[in-house]
Each structure stands twice: as C-alpha cells, then as structure tokens.
C-alpha cells in the first residue's frame, strides 16, 4: 500500500512539474506574460495524462497550473480562474472520449474525428468560457476584451491538445518498443562506422527513410520560418512548402510519426514567428491576423496528418482482412491437407484388411486422436484470427491478478512441459496490483507464449515467468534460455502473412503471436520480444493496472 502511494505521489509530482515547465516555456518563448497563448501545450498534456488513467492526475494538473500562474506573478483571482477552467476542461474531455469508445492508438478514422470534434473544438469552449467569465468578474479584463480573450483561449487550448495529445498517447503505447529498435539501429550504425564497414543497404531501410523524412522536414521548415521574408513574398503560401513531409510521415510511418512530424513543424513555425521571422511575421502589423494565420496553419497540418494516418491504418486493416481470406484458403489447401491425407492412409490400410472385425492397436488410435487434435487446433486458430480481423475483439473485462490466470495454463501444458523436460520458474507474485483484463483472453496469451517457447527450442530449457509494476502498468515477461531469434526475425514475428508452401511455421509461432498481439492491443497494452541467437528469448507484454472508470 505504501509503495502504491509513493508511486502515485511521484506520478502527480511529475505531471505538475511537466505542466509547469511546459507552460513556462510557452509563455517565455512567446513573450506573453499573463496574456492568453495562441497555442497552449499544457492543455494537451492534461488530456493525455488523464487518458493514461493515472490516478489523481488531476491533482498534478491543478498544482502545475497554480505554479505556472504564480511564476508569472498573475493575480490569485486570475490564477484560480485559469486553474479551474484548465482542470475542468481536461476532465470533461477525457471523460467524453472514454465514454465514446475512443482508443488511445487513434488508428481508426472514427477515433480521429471524435478526438477533433470533442476535445479540440467542443470541450475547449468550456475552459475558455469559464476562464474568461471568472477573469471578467474579477475585473482583470474589460468588456471589450472578452471576445478576443475567449477566442484566443478556445483556439489556443484546442491547438495544444491537437498537437501534443496524439504524440503523447501513441508514444506511451509504443514508446518502449520504438526506443529499443532505435537503440539497436544506432548501435549497429556506430559499430559499422568504427569498423569502416558501413553498408547502408544492410541497415533498416525504413529507419533510413524515416531519418531522411525528419531531416528534410526540419531543414525545409527552418528555411521557411527562420528566414526574413518580405511582405510581397509572404503573400504566397510559402508555409505549406513543408506540408508534403507531414503527409509523407502519415502515409509511410503511421500515426506516431505523423504526430511527431506535425509537432516538429508546429514548434518550428511558432518559434520562428515568435522571433519575428517567417511568412506570418511578415504580415501587416495586426497581431491578430498573425496569430490567426499561425493557428490555422497548425490546425490544418495536424488534422490532415491525423486523418491521413488513420485512413492509411484502416486501409492496412482492410488489406489484412483480404489477406486473411487468402491465408485461410491457403492453410486449408496445404497445411490441413497433410493431416487429412495421413488419417485417410491409415483408414484405407485398415479397410484393406480382411474380415468384418479389424484389430486396431492403442498406439494407432492415439496417433489418430493426436492428429485430429492438431487439425482441430489449426482450424480453431485460423477461425480465431479471422474473427479478430473481420470484427472487433470483444473483451469481458474484470479486475484480476495475473497470478490467478496462470494455474490453469500450467496444468494444461504440464504434460508437454514434462515431455520436453522443461523447467518452469514462476516468479509472478500474487501480491501484484490487479489488472483490467479479460481472463480467458490473457490465458490464451500465456498459453501461446509458453507453448511457443517449448515448441521452438530443444528439450531441457528453463522458462522463467516474471511480472513487475511500471508506472500505471504491469510488465510481464516469458523468458527462456533456448536458441534465440535473429533480429531480422524479431521484427516480423507478430506479422500476419502468407508463408511459402514449404514453410510450416505458418501454423506455429507466427499465428500464435499474431493472436497475442491482437489480444494485448485490445487491452490497450503492447507486446514485443528481446532476443539474440544463442542468448534465449524474452517475450514481454504490458497491461494497464485496474483503475476506476472516471478519468482521474
């Protein structure tokens, strides 16, 4: 209990410090003082941490907002009105998103449209109205300043949510996997440079393309927004020269990198304009026009990137459904045929024997029974994958301990473990906090990971199960000391693909791990593998802790 309270305390403190520093940086870079910001990143941070379901996150938002207002010597009446508006706005936005079935991954067009409609456009109206009303009541702004202040707060908070929240949500889901892959790529690049055997073709082409995209985006955007531009030239839409790079990120790399590209582009545009450079700063002296153009540019870039990335993700899912149909036909035609032919050969041999009564040995019956079970398992796995690809994964969630899921799995696999002389070390403690899971689905995940470790390693290995708390999640791992997996294979293990006719792994590790990925993703978690040849493998997955249903 004390450890849990300490963890919540540190989480609230981290949120407050991040909120304060981001607010301070925004106000300092734009030289605003107590004025409303045309883009308010702390609003995006507030919504993101609430969607992460960090308990008492709203306390961190309150503390961060109060500290930010105190740092700029704002009157207490303004500080309180601003804090109330920011906190209620974030709580309402997170609540509406969770009630509408929003997914943090934002891989559906529906999620992007709900996010933009509710949290970017509608909910900031509440915060802007509360803050403006309280500020007017306290005599901090005059009647003539209400429309301008209200409009700036509304659009500024909306732009902050639009630019920052998708980036934080997606990097929270995939951050560990992406950091590990980037670290491995960096180590490979460094080792090749030291040995002077750098072969660019051997590096991950996708990584090189991503670095090229990001580099060109930064260079082109910097040239546009950090240059002194004459008014005659600024009247042309120069700012949209960098627009294709954001679309490049959305089409090729998905929503996480699309959110990163729009964030980088927005940061360069805002900082350049604040320095008095770029096409927006070259406009006539009316500051309102300058701010409005900057906000419109930021909104167009971010919304377009998110929509394109979501449509691309849905297109990939549609392709996967078509691929699943081909895979089902392929598996039936090639993999299941082997089992059926074997059974028919045995039956034909028995039929060829003379007499009405035929003696059948127990060994033969056991072999036929085992063959039938294999065939049934293949069919069940294929139909399960097909169901996951053509319909949403439905979960019957409840608060449960991971340790309570394992006993049945271990009992089911006990014969296989004993037959392969496997030593199973279970270090998953029953004292761990509960997780919000579908017990039967998570049981499938453990079953697949354990059976794969046995199936794809020689007899006599040791399998170790561990689980530990990481922030507001539990990280569980299934590690073995077997033969390991090459890095190139690790990147493809969770993919669903049609194998070659001679590839019998189709019905084994690839299919099982794909099912695991679908289940864990439906729980809002992540799954991956760390492995190297002759060093064993560690399959891990992360699940959110069981929390209350309301955002805070």
- Boundaries of every domain in the chain: 1-177, 395-552
CB 104 within 8 A of CB 173: yes
Closest-CA residue to 127 (of 190, 61, 73): 61
What pLDDT score was predicted for residue 548?
A: 44
CB 79 within 8 A of CB 131: no
- Token pair of 319 as six digits: 């392709």
Closest-CA residue to 404 (of 363, 435, 365): 435
- Say which CATH class 395-552 falls into: alpha beta
User: Measured between alpha carbons, how far is 434 from 544 in angstroms, rounded to an integer?
Assistant: 9
Query: Each residue of 21-64: pLDDT tens digit?
Result: 988 888 776 654 445 566 788 999 999 999 887 778 889 999 99
User: Measured between alpha carbons, how far is 30 from 38 in angstroms, rounded to an integer?
Assistant: 9
Residue 312, pLDDT above cutoff 50: yes
Q: Confidence band (pLDDT; 50, 70, 90) for 333?
A: low
Q: What percent of the chain has pLDDT over 90?
A: 21
Highest mean pLDDT out of 187-191, 201-205, 231-235, 344-348: 344-348
Q: Confidence band (pLDDT; 50, 70, 90) for 507?
A: very low
User: Measured between alpha carbons, how far is 535 from 530 in angstroms, rounded to an integer?
Assistant: 10
Q: Which H helix or E strand runs over 477? A: strand 473-480
What pLDDT score was predicted for residue 399?
A: 86
Place of tokens 């508006």: 85
Residue 416, pLDDT above cutoff 70: yes
- How many C-alpha atoms does 85 have within 13 Å on its Cβ side? 25
Residue 127 contacts by C-beta under 8 Å, 6 or more apart in sequence? 43, 85, 86, 88, 89, 153, 154, 157
User: Measured between alpha carbons, how far is 116 from 118 in angstroms, rounded to an integer?
Assistant: 6
Mean pLDDT of 428-444: 88
Mean model confidence pLDDT for the chain: 79
Residue 506, pLDDT above cutoff 90: no
> Bigger pLDDT: 287 or 61?
61
User: Measured between alpha carbons, how far is 221 from 262 in angstroms, rounded to an integer?
Assistant: 11
CB-CB neighbours of 4 under 10 Å: 12
What pLDDT score was predicted for residue 369?
A: 77
Query: Each residue of 59-70: pLDDT tens digit?
Result: 999 999 899 888
Q: Is 203 helix (H, G, I), strand (E, B) or coil?
A: coil
- Say which CATH class 1-177 falls into: mainly alpha
**∠ Cα 52 54 59 (to 5°):** 125
DSSP symbol at 545: B
> Bigger pLDDT: 81 or 414?
414
Among the ranges given (249-253, 349-353, 415-419), the one the predictor scored with the smallest mean pLDDT: 349-353
Query: Each residue of 471-484: pLDDT tens digit?
Result: 778 999 999 999 88
What pLDDT score was predicted for residue 385?
A: 64
pTM for this predicted structure:
0.66
The domains spanning 1-177 and 395-552 adopt the same CATH topology:
no
Mean pLDDT of 414-441: 89
Give φ, ψ of 361 to 5 degrees.
Answer: -75, 155
What pLDDT score was predicted for residue 189?
A: 52
């Amino acid at each position: 209990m004390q450890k849990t309270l300490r963890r919540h305390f540190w989480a609230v403190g981290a949120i407050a410090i991040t909120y304060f520093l981001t607010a301070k940086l925004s106000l300092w870079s734009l030289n605003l003082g107590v004025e409303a910001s045309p883009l308010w990143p702390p609003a995006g941070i507030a919504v993101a941490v609430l969607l992460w379901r960090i308990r008492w996150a709203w306390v961190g938002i309150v503390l961060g907002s109060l500290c930010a207002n105190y740092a700029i010597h704002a009157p207490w009446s303004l500080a309180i009105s601003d804090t109330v508006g920011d906190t209620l706005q974030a709580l309402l936005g997170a609540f509406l998103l969770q009630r509408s079935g929003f997914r943090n991954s934002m891989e559906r067009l529906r999620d992007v449209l709900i996010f933009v409609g509710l949290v970017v456009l509608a909910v900031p109206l509440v915060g802007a109205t509360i803050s403006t009303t309280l500020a007017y009541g306290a005599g901090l702004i005059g009647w003539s300043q209400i429309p301008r202040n209200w409009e700036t707060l509304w659009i500024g908070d909306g732009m902050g949510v639009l630019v920052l929240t998708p980036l934080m949500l997606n990097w929270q889901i995939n951050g560990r996997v992406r950091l590990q892959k980037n670290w491995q790529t960096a180590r490979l690049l460094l080792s090749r440079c030291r040995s002077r055997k750098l072969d660019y073709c051997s590096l991950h082409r996708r990584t090189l393309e991503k670095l090229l995209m990001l580099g060109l985006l930064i260079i082109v955007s910097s040239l546009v927004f950090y240059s002194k531009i004459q008014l005659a030239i600024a009247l042309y839409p120069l700012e949209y020269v960098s627009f294709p790079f954001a679309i490049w990120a959305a089409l090729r790399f998905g929503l996480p990198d699309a959110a990163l590209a729009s964030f980088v582009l927005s940061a360069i545009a805002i900082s350049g304009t604040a320095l008095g450079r770029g096409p927006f700063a070259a406009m006539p002296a009316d500051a309102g026009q300058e701010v409005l153009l900057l906000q419109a540019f930021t909104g167009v870039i971010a919304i377009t990137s998110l929509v394109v990335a979501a449509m691309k993700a849905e297109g990939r899912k549609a392709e996967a459904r078509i691929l699943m149909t081909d895979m089902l036909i392929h598996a039936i035609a090639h993999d299941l045929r082997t089992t059926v032919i074997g059974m028919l050969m045995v039956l034909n041999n028995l039929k060829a024997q003379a007499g009405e009564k035929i003696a059948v040995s127990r060994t033969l019956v056991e072999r036929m029974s085992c063959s039938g079970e294999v065939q049934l398992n293949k069919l069940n796995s294929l139909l399960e994958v097909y169901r996951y690809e053509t319909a949403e994964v439905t979960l019957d969630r409840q608060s449960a301990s991971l340790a309570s899921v394992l006993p049945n799995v271990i009992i089911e696999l006990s014969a296989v473990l004993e037959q392969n002389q496997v030593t199973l070390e279970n270090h998953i403690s029953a004292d761990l906090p509960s997780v919000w899971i579908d017990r039967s689905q998570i049981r499938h995940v453990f079953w697949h990971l354990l059976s794969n470790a046995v199936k794809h390693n020689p007899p006599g290995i040791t399998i170790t199960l561990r689980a530990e708390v990481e922030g507001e999640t539990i990280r569980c791992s299934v590690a073995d000391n077997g033969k390991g997996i090459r890095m190139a294979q690790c990147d493809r293990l969770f993919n669903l693909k049609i194998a070659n006719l001679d590839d019998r792994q189709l019905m084994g590790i690839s299919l099982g791990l794909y099912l695991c990925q679908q289940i864990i993703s439906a729980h809002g978690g992540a799954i991956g593998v760390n492995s190297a040849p002759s060093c064993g493998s560690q399959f891990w997955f992360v699940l959110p802790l069981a929390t209350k249903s309301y955002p805070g």
